[in-house]
Structure 1
Amino acid sequence: MSSKSDKKITIHLIEDDVSQRDSIESLLAFKGFITKSYSTANDFLQTLPFERPAIVIADIQLPDISGVDLHRMLMEKNINPPIIFISGEASIQESIDAMKQGAIEFLVKPFEIDTLIAAVNNAIKIELKEINLNFLLKNLSPREFEVYNLLLQGLNNQELIDKLHLSLPTVKQYKSEVMRKLKVNSLSKLIELAR
Structure 2
Amino acid sequence: MHKKNKITIFLIEDDPSQLKSIESLLEFKGFVFQSFKNAMDFLTLSDISRPAVLVSDMRLPDLNGVELYKALTDRGEDIPIIFISGESSIQQSIDAMKQGAIEFLVKPFDINDLTNAIEKATRLEHKRVNLKTLLKNLSPREKQVFDLLIQGLNNSELMKKINVSLPTAKQYKSEVMRKLGVKSLSELMNLSNQTV
TM-score by length of 2: 0.94
Question: How far is 1:12 from its partner?
Answer: 0.4
In the TM superposition, 1:133-152 aligns within 5 A as 133-152=131-150
In 2, Cα distance between the equivalents of 1:116 and 1:83?
12
**What residue number does 2:191 align with?**
193
Question: How far is 1:65 from its partner?
Answer: 1.3
For the Cα contact (< 8 Å) 2:2–2:31, is it kept in 1? no
Question: How far is 1:49 from its partner?
Answer: 2.5
Q: Which amino acid aligns with 1:35?
A: F
In 2, Cα distance between the equivalents of 1:167 and 1:118?
48
Q: Decide which of 51, 54, 69 is 1:53's aligned counterpart.
A: 51
In the TM superposition, 1:34-183 aligns within 5 A as 34-183=32-181
For the Cα contact (< 8 Å) 2:177–2:183, is it kept in 1? yes
After alignment, is 87-96 or 173-182 more displaced? 87-96
Question: How far is 1:122 from its partner?
Answer: 0.2
Q: Structure 1: which 5+ residue stretches go unaligned?
A: none
CA distance 1:3–1:171, change in 2 (3 Å): farther
Q: Provide the aligned C-alpha RMSD in A.
A: 1.4
Q: Decide which of 19, 22, 33 is 1:21's aligned counterpart.
A: 19
Q: Which amino acid aligns with 1:121?
A: E
Q: Which amino acid aligns with 2:168?
A: T
Q: Structure 2: which 5+ residue stretches go unaligned?
A: none
In 2, Cα distance between the equivalents of 1:45 and 1:124?
21
Q: Find the residue that maps to 1:37 and give its secondary structure.
A: strand
**What residue number does 2:3 align with?**
4
In 1, Cα distance between the equivalents of 2:60 and 2:152?
42
In 2, Cα distance between the equivalents of 1:10 and 1:148?
29
Question: How far is 1:172 from its partner?
Answer: 1.2
Question: How far is 1:5 from its partner?
Answer: 4.4
In 1, Cα distance between the equivalents of 2:107 and 2:65?
15
In 1, Cα distance between the equivalents of 2:174 and 2:2?
33
Question: How far is 1:54 from its partner?
Answer: 0.7
Number of matched residues? 193
Percent identity at matched positions? 60
TM-score by length of 1: 0.95
